[in-house]
Amino acid sequence: MCSTCRCSDEAHTTITDVKDLHKERYHDPYAAHHCSGHEHHHDHQHDSERRLIHLEYDLLEKNNRLAERNRGWFEGRDICALNMMSSPGAGKTTLLERTIGNLRAEYQISVIEGDQATTRDADRIDAAGSRVIQVNTGSGCHLDSAMLADALRKLNPPSHSLVMIENVGNLICPALFDLGERKKVVIMSVTEGEDKPLKYPQMFRVADLMILNKVDLLPHISFSVERCIAHARKVKPLIQIIETSATKGIGLDEWYLWLRTEISTNGNGSAHSK
Amino acid sequence: MHELALTENIIAGVAERVEGARVTRVVLQIGKLSGVVPEAVRFCFDVCAAGTALEGASLEIVEIPARAICRSCKSTIELSDMIALCSCGSANLRMLSGNELRVKEVEVL
């Protein structure tokens, strides 16, 4: 447990539609139920009365069940949802801004922004021209499938569209929580160091695509793209890798090609174009 | 980081299932590569259990070893970490176990 972030301790998630900045309190189903009202009287109990109950249930069962519901919700509406994960500052929001700017004529794109606090990222996405819902996780360090379900109800994305979920900047916890997305994308930037995949293997193992961002800075730093890719493939041999600079526009065509392929390879094969 | 959320989840899930009985022991299975640190769960357990049906319960954690089958040579190997290679040199492995996060059983009064 991280004593700094106090993940989910007394967590209250806030979901904000930046269009009306209407806030509502969201009760985190994973937060502890402080049932102080239990009144069990267990006087005169003996060891012989102890019973063993085989529960055999998965700790992430509730999250996974809700994630499958979200997945079905997306499938029913022919929506391609992507879970975008990275450490803070790797360039997720900038990449989304660029993507919205370049593909808005082609696809309807809406965004769910996960951050501990503020609507700063959602404001940027709003300015870029996409419908956006901000989820503030409070002390929580990741989005879970219940938060996503709530945000989706508010976002109400149109059928045949693209929903980008920008997870809380964190390379550890988001890896564990399925949201019901079609694909998981991990973004790492060259300034973070080439050994990130080895240091955070869980994240790189669950990701379908790795975007290596900020490659325009390569001339100024000591970073071996080859070694970084080798590290990533050690953790996940078949991971797809795209090198980009979201600010300079490098590699974005390859990212858009990946997106178009992903969007068109949905269940019924129909095109999502407007 | 997520262990506190998970531990709260364990407490709430068990309390719901035992329907008011007092829980004296909880047995968890945690896979070696599940991404969850048993010590961190132990660290939060007592605090999270306070005021619930699990208050004062002992916690037993069974670590499940990580095993995988090599897609290249088909042999089964045990993994010590996530960055693993089969002795044949292939990294193309399919996990068989080691991702578990389960409440196995509880003892109630």
Test B35 with A172 for CB contact under 8 angstroms: yes
pLDDT above 90: residue A20: no
What is the reported pLDDT for A46? 53
How many angstroms separate the CA atoms of B3 and B37, rounded? 7
Alpha-carbon distance A128 to nearest alpha carbon in chain B (angstroms): 32
- What domains lie within chain B, and their CATH numbers? 3-65+98-108 (3.30.2320.50)
Q: Which of B34, B35, B39, B33 lies closest to B61 in space, CA to CA?
A: B39
- Asked if the C-beta of A176 comes within 8 angstroms of chain B's C-beta atoms, the answer is yes
Whole-number pLDDT of residue A27: 46
Q: Could you tell me if A210 and A204 are in contact, meaning their C-beta atoms sit under 8 angstroms apart?
A: yes
Does pLDDT of A163 surpass 50? yes
What's the pLDDT tens digit per position in B24-46? 999 999 999 998 999 999 999 99
- pLDDT, average across residues B61-70: 95
In this predicted model, what pLDDT tens digit does every residue of A166-192 receive, in sequence order?
A: 999 999 989 999 999 999 999 999 999
**How many angstroms separate the CA atoms of A168 and A178, rounded?**
14
pLDDT of A127 higher than 90: yes
Say if the Cβ atoms of B15 and A30 lie within 8 Å.
no
Instruction: Tell me the chain B residues in contact with residue A234 when contact means C-beta distances shorter than 8 Å.
Output: 83, 85, 91
Which residues in chain A (99-118) have CB-CB distances under 8 A to chain B? none
Q: What is the model's pLDDT at position A274?
A: 43
| Closest CB to B106 among A36, A40, A53 | A53
* In the predicted structure, residue B70 carries a pLDDT above the cut 90: yes
Q: Kindly indicate the confidence band of residue A38, based on its pLDDT and cuts at 50, 70 and 90.
A: very low
Q: What confidence score (pLDDT) does residue A7 get?
A: 54
A47 confidence band (pLDDT: 50, 70, 90): low
H/E run at residue A236: none
Q: Does residue A39 sit at the B interface (CB-CB below 8 Å)?
A: no
Task: Give the angle subtended at the CA of A36 by the CAs of A34 and A38, to the nearest 5°.
Answer: 120
Query: How many A-B residue pairs are in contact by the CB < 8 A criterion?
Result: 134
pLDDT at B87 > cutoff 70: yes
Domains of chain A and any CATH numbers: 61-264 (3.40.50.300)
Q: Which of A37-46, A87-96, A248-257, B92-101 has the lowest mean pLDDT?
A: A37-46
- The four Cα atoms A112, A113, A115, A119 give a dihedral, to 10 degrees, of -120
Residue range A131-148: average pLDDT?
92
Whether residues B17 and A34 touch (CB distance < 8 A) is answered with no
In angstroms, the CA B77 to CA B87 distance is 9
| A38/B53 Cβ within 8 A | yes
Residue A24 has pLDDT above 50, yes or no: no
Sequence-ordered strand ranges (E) for chain A:
12-17, 22-27, 51-58, 80-86, 109-115, 131-136, 162-166, 183-189, 209-213, 240-243
Which pLDDT belongs to residue B107? 95
| Residue of B14, B83, B101 lying closest to A198 (CB–CB) | B83
Does A41 contact B at CB distance below 8 Å? no
Contact of B44 with B10, CB cutoff 8 Å:
no
For residue A11, the model assigns a pLDDT of 53
Q: What is the pLDDT of residues A198-253, one digit of tens each?
A: 999 999 999 999 999 999 999 999 999 999 999 999 999 899 999 999 999 999 99
CB contact under 8 A, A40 and B20: yes
Give CA–CA dist B21/B109, Å, rounded.
6
Report ipTM for this prediction. Answer: 0.81
More confident residue, A130 or B89: A130
Mean pLDDT, rounded, for A151-177? 95
How far apart CA A157 and CA A165 sit, in angstroms, is 12
Q: Output the pTM of the full model.
A: 0.80
Per-residue pLDDT band for B57 (boundaries 50, 70, 90) equals: very high
Note the pLDDT of residue A3: 37
Q: Please, what sign has the CA dihedral across residues A52, A58, A63, A68?
A: negative
Q: Return the higher-pLDDT residue of A25 and A126.
A: A126
Of B4, B52, B103, the CB nearest to A35: B52
Instruction: Point out the residue among A35, A36, A55 whose CB comes nearest to the CB of B17.
Output: A55
B51 CB within 8 Å of a chain A CB:
yes
Q: What's the rounded Cα separation, in Å, for the pair A272 and B17?
A: 44
